[in-house]
Amino acid sequence: MLNASIRKHLPGFTVDINLSFDNGILVLFGPSGSGKSTILNCLAGLQKPSAGRILLNNRVFFCKHQGINVPARQRRIGYVFQDYALFPHLTVKDNVLFGLAPGPDRCKKRRGHRMSVRETLEMLKIMPLQDRYPAQLSGGEKQRVALARALMMEPDLLLLDEPLSATDAQIRRELQIELKKMQRTWEIPFILVTHSHKEMDALADEVVFLKDGQAVDTSDWTLPAGETTDRWAWGSSSALRGEDSLVGGTAHMVRNTASMANALVK
């Protein structure tokens, strides 16, 4: 369970957001410069909020009042960066394994419901690339390697900053289905940043619409082509059950995707 109240002063505006999210894929949707990546960086411990509190599974990662700020490396949070952040001197396989403790079981499953490095490479269709270096990869291939590295950490929370933006349409659709399957198998929260309506519609269990660092009503947005307002509901995961609620004191709109999610994972 993630509970976060984040306030971060930036040039020109202030990010001020409350998040309460248990499971599924939460999409942060908004234009460039709306604070989406800043929220991810604060959750990961790469930026320090100006104020607020961040808890994951009842563990306090940040609290301004208590003076707590757990380092990023101790948070068990996977992060797929928009610019990949791959190590140029390491092969694909070594990039994926980076951060795992050395030893004979390094490439094997560490928990029954997680994947081995081979399964991860095969799922993301980069097994044939395992001995190549980042300079030999396309943008889409680099993005898949970054995703594989984040997954191998066995995170308790996975952050994805536009993880599929450099992939072609066919690969993007396949990876969207695989992301859904992975989340349903692992049952950990995924938080994904996008400004693509199609990606939001394909992946989101819940959506926070952002503008200038704050959650806004979707009346400020143009809905995707073919959508109607009766397919949206107020609230958090309770909205998927037809209930009305406010999450963490912040009103936002949630995509009712329960039936679509079931179809994608079958």
CATH of the domain at 68: 3.40.50.300
141 contacts: CB under 8 Å, gap ≥ 6: 126, 129
Task: Supply the pLDDT for residue 172.
Answer: 83
Residue 196 placed within a domain? yes
pLDDT digits (tens, 9 = 90+) for 147-179: 889 988 889 999 999 888 777 788 788 888 888
- Does 29 share its domain with 72? yes
pLDDT digits (tens, 9 = 90+) for 1-25: 999 999 999 999 999 999 999 889 9
Tokens of 221: 């947005």
Task: Supply the pLDDT for residue 197.
Answer: 86
- Does 102 share its domain with 209? no
Residue 160 placed within a domain? yes
For tokens 């979707």, name the residue: 218
3-class DSSP state of 68: strand
- Does 10 share its domain with 105? no
User: pLDDT-based confidence at 101, cuts 50/70/90?
Assistant: low
Which residues span the domain enclosing 94?
Answer: 86-154
- Does 164 share its domain with 241? yes
pLDDT digits (tens, 9 = 90+) for 200-251: 999 999 999 999 999 987 645 554 444 433 333 333 333 222 222 223 323 2
- Does 247 share its domain with 143? no
Residue 70 placed within a domain? yes
- Does 166 share its domain with 211? yes
* Cβ 238 vs Cβ 60: under 8 Å: no
For tokens 């081995």, name the residue: 116
Q: pTM above 0.85?
A: no
Task: Supply the pLDDT for residue 103.
Answer: 57
- Does 144 share its domain with 34? no
pLDDT of 261 strictly over 70: no
Residue 103 placed within a domain? yes
Task: Supply the pLDDT for residue 82.
Answer: 80
Residue 141 placed within a domain? yes
